């Protein structure tokens, strides 16, 4: 997962890319706890289209993208938010299911 800036995120949305964005904070306990499961699922499924944005660094994004808490994963397709989850999952299997259900597998 590559960290991107808000400008890069907006460019991806504007282009109509199909991608996942992981909104996190480096001090968020839930992010720290669940990120290893997320990374394992991304690796297992070879998910290529996932980026991450630090909402502690870019706090204004919380309001702009209606982020209720961290961690949050949004799925964008054809310029639109199509699905989102907040709070993360406590195991790899749930992340695997999420990516499979939302078309993140290769």
What is the full per-residue pLDDT of the chain (106 aa) written as tens digits?
Answer: 999 999 999 999 999 989 999 999 999 999 999 999 999 999 998 888 999 999 999 999 999 999 999 999 999 999 999 999 999 898 999 999 999 999 875 5
User: Is 60 within the bounds of a domain?
Assistant: yes
Q: How many domains does the chain have?
A: 1
Is 105 within a domain?
Answer: no
The pLDDT of residue 81: 96
CB 59 within 8 A of CB 24: no
Give residue 98's pLDDT.
92
In a domain, 106, yes or no: no
Q: Is residue 9 part of a domain?
A: yes
Domain around 72: 2-100
Structural tokens at position 41: 């699922």
Order of strands, edge to edge, in the sheet holding 72-77? 2-3, 50-54, 19-24, 72-77, 80-86
pTM metric for this prediction: 0.93
Q: What is the pLDDT of residue 105?
A: 59
Residue 61 lies in a domain: yes
Residues in the chain: 106
């Amino acid at each position: 997962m590559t960290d991107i800036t808000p400008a890069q995120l907006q460019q991806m949305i504007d282009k109509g890319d199909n991608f996942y964005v992981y909104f996190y904070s480096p001090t968020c306990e839930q992010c720290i706890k669940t990120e290893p499961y997320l990374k394992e699922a991304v690796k297992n499924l070879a998910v290529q289209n996932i980026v991450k944005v630090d909402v502690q660094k870019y706090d204004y994004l919380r309001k702009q993208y209606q982020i209720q808490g961290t961690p949050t994963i949004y799925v964008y397709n054809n310029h639109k938010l199509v699905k989102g989850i907040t709070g993360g999952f406590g195991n790899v299997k749930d992340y695997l299911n999420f990516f499979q259900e939302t078309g993140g597998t290769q």
